[in-house]
Structure 1
Amino acid sequence: MKKMWQFWLTAILATFLLAACGTDSAEKDNKSATETSQKEEQTTEAAFPLILKDAVGNDITLEKAPEKIVSMIPSNTEILFALGLNDEIVGVNDWDNYPEEALEKEKIGGQEFNVEKIVSMTPDIVFAHESMLGISDEGLQQLRDAGINVFVVKNAADFDQTYETIKTIGQATGKTEEAETIIKDMKAKVEEVLAKTATVENKKRVLIENSDAPEIYAPGKNTFMQEMLDMIGAENIVTEEGWAMISPEEIVSQNPDVILIMYSYVPDIIESVKNRDGFSDITAVKEDAVIQVDEDLTSRTGPRLATGLEEVAKAIYPEAFGE
């Protein structure tokens, strides 16, 4: 009987101990979760106020994450939407067409934007762009004079600068984690493309057209497209610096393996290029390698730029992608 009493006493004590341990553990877990939550809140709060220097050297002070945003150029708009700022975006450029939600936003004009309309939107920040300078300076200053934060985004010249632009806009909008995710995904896509094109043995010679005859312009050295060609191991037939005008006769003489069309304002442009005088002798025409690529993917320095690189690589080296 004594042994049975000891057994039951031991069992009861064990039950209380387990319950006590469970309570302590739960309290510790709750305390840990609360502390983690508080740290995350403090981290978010600590991000503001902040001061960021824009592309023209102006210090932009932001007391808190902006609740109303105006974007003045498509690349900025694509970045802002990718960061998840649909609700905060109140105005966009007339040419903004991606994502579809951008089409539903209030339009503020193109390079000649409507200052009064933007002011009436009372935005916390306006994301302008370095490419606008010299044309839109007066209007941008009018916005500043109205007390609006105008952040001039740098005109990115390569992938690294594009990543930096996304990071900066993420900081300015309180979306640093989202920005890092976008950059990580872009880098992964770029690495995937580079891995596939690294196995290509025969380097192809390429012409990239950005306008139709008679004034055919093509990118040369120190351009974004040159960087893309270098990345995938293709040779640009244009060796001049920057953007150069190239004649149809010179194109025939250079005999490119691939012709990439980076514009869409001419109907049936692929057939039109193939039917130019003397082009029937060009390798690109003979091998049906005159290909149109969506210019938005390659000209807008935002989240879709890595996809643009992939499309260029597929057009030049379809065999590397099993196409």
Structure 2
Amino acid sequence: MFCNIPDQLGRMISLDQLPERIISLVPSQTELLIDLGLEDRLVGVTRYCIHPAGLIDKKKVVGGTKKIVESRILELQPDLIICNREENTPAIVSFCDHIAPTYVSDIDTLEQALEMIADLGELTGSKFKAKSLIRNISSSFKTLKKPELEHKALYLIWKKPYMSVGKGTFINDMLEKAGFINAAEGFVRYPELDVEAMIKLQPEAVFLSSEPYPFTADDIADLKLAFLTAPSQDPIKPNVIPEFKVVDGELFSWYGSRLLKTPAYLQSLQPKKSDLTF
């Protein structure tokens, strides 16, 4: 047997030989596979696998992360499929599991992301490249300095309804590693928040993610107005208006090789004593 390891759900993944026809249904892990030197063995991706540029023009697109075209996966005759517990549905994982060995990642922390990279290196025969990548990512995060000021940040991922990130999420782990206090740390996973609830959390910064919802400067203007016109939480003082910033969602939530770029980006977001704003 070539490889026999548990995935991050504890399911054993057994491969009789080196996989030559891999399908990835997880965009960040698709990019990881490419950076591990596996482009020639990657046969299927989702339409959201946008990195590296042009990849979806060269590979068979089998659908999205939540809805796949089953016939396309069957036609590709994969010998390894990569899924994620959060990004793909249980039905998709079940279908894939009946087609080929299916590795399911489950990532809420940097440490789990590094474990996943090691696993994929083992499964694909690229463990030396994976180990090198892990060392480089780990070293990069060690350079991340603590902020000069404590700052409470609220991170928004969706609109209509507004949704944030709480404990038990990878984005929360990135916020904490950057030295921010997560304004929504009292919630778990992805809570829905109206403007009144946001104001009660008293964030000093509101980060509007570029994905999955593509927030823009117009959304910042809308939220600022909503904060300004909402009933005050204090009978004497007006609502405190936080700083609003559109941030790169990929650098907060992609847990593959893109993590090499994350620490420098997180550092750039930290407030400094000399700054009144970001």
- TM-score higher than 0.5: yes
- Residue 283 (structure 1) shift: 4.0
CA contact under 8 A between 2:30 and 2:45: conserved in structure 1? Answer: yes
Sort the Cα spacing of 1:231 and 1:55 in 2 relative to 1 into closer, same or farther, 3 A. Answer: closer
Percent sequence identity over aligned pairs: 23
CA contact under 8 A between 1:126 and 1:151: conserved in structure 2? Answer: yes
CA distance in 2, matches of 1:295, 1:167: 24
Alignment of 1:250 onto 2:189: no
- Please list the CA deviations of residues 166-206 of structure 1 after superposition, one character each: whole Å capped at 9, or x if unmatched: 0000011110110011111111111111xx22xx3420111
CA distance in 2, matches of 1:151, 1:50: 13
Work out which of the two has the higher radius of gyration on C-alpha atoms and give 1 or 2: 1
Aligned to 1:226: 172
CA distance in 2, matches of 1:120, 1:60: 22
Given candidates 110, 115, 122, the residue that maps to 2:70 is: 115
Given candidates 95, 110, 113, the residue that maps to 1:139 is: 95
Bigger mean CA offset, 60-69 vs 170-179: 60-69
- Residue 137 (structure 1) shift: 4.3
CA contact under 8 A between 1:207 and 1:236: conserved in structure 2? Answer: yes
Aligned to 1:282: 240
- Residue 151 (structure 1) shift: 2.0
Aligned to 2:5: 52
Any residues of structure 2 matched to 1:50-129 within 5 Å, and which?
A: 50-104=3-57, 105-110=59-64, 111-129=66-84
Count, aligned residues: 261
CA distance in 2, matches of 1:59, 1:248: 45
Any residues of structure 2 matched to 1:1-323 within 5 Å, and which?
A: 49-104=2-57, 105-110=59-64, 111-131=66-86, 132-143=88-99, 149-193=100-144, 196-197=145-146, 200-212=147-159, 215-238=161-184, 239-262=186-209, 263=211, 264-267=213-216, 268-278=218-228, 281-284=239-242, 289-317=243-271
TM-score (norm: length of structure 2): 0.83
CA distance in 2, matches of 1:253, 1:167: 41
- Residue 72 (structure 1) shift: 1.3
Bigger relative contact order (CA 8 A; separation at least 6): 2
Sort the Cα spacing of 1:201 and 1:54 in 2 relative to 1 into closer, same or farther, 3 A. Answer: closer
Paired letter, 1:192? T
CA distance in 2, matches of 1:225, 1:315: 14
CA distance in 2, matches of 1:316, 1:101: 33
CA distance in 1, matches of 2:43, 2:227: 49
CA distance in 2, matches of 1:118, 1:83: 23
CA contact under 8 A between 1:293 and 1:312: conserved in structure 2? Answer: no
CA contact under 8 A between 1:51 and 1:59: conserved in structure 2? Answer: yes
Sort the Cα spacing of 1:313 and 1:207 in 2 relative to 1 into closer, same or farther, 3 A. Answer: farther
Kindly report the root-mean-square deviation, in angstroms, between the aligned alpha carbons of the 2 structures. Answer: 2.6
- Residue 230 (structure 1) shift: 2.3
Sort the Cα spacing of 1:232 and 1:62 in 2 relative to 1 into closer, same or farther, 3 A. Answer: same
Paired letter, 2:73? I
CA distance in 2, matches of 1:59, 1:211: 35
Bigger mean CA offset, 54-63 vs 95-104: 54-63
Paired letter, 1:98? H
Paired letter, 1:139? F
Aligned to 2:235: none
- Residue 61 (structure 1) shift: 2.7
Sort the Cα spacing of 1:155 and 1:319 in 2 relative to 1 into closer, same or farther, 3 A. Answer: farther
CA contact under 8 A between 2:6 and 2:12: conserved in structure 1? Answer: yes
TM-score (norm: length of structure 1): 0.72
CA distance in 1, matches of 2:155, 2:264: 15
Which structure: greater helix fraction?
1
Paired letter, 1:265? P
CA distance in 1, matches of 2:269, 2:133: 25
- Residue 138 (structure 1) shift: 4.5
- Residue 141 (structure 1) shift: 4.2
Sort the Cα spacing of 1:266 and 1:220 in 2 relative to 1 into closer, same or farther, 3 A. Answer: closer
- Please list the CA deviations of residues 186-237 of structure 1 after superposition, one character each: whole Å capped at 9, or x if unmatched: 11111111xx22xx3420111111122x522111223223222322322122
- Residue 243 (structure 1) shift: 2.3
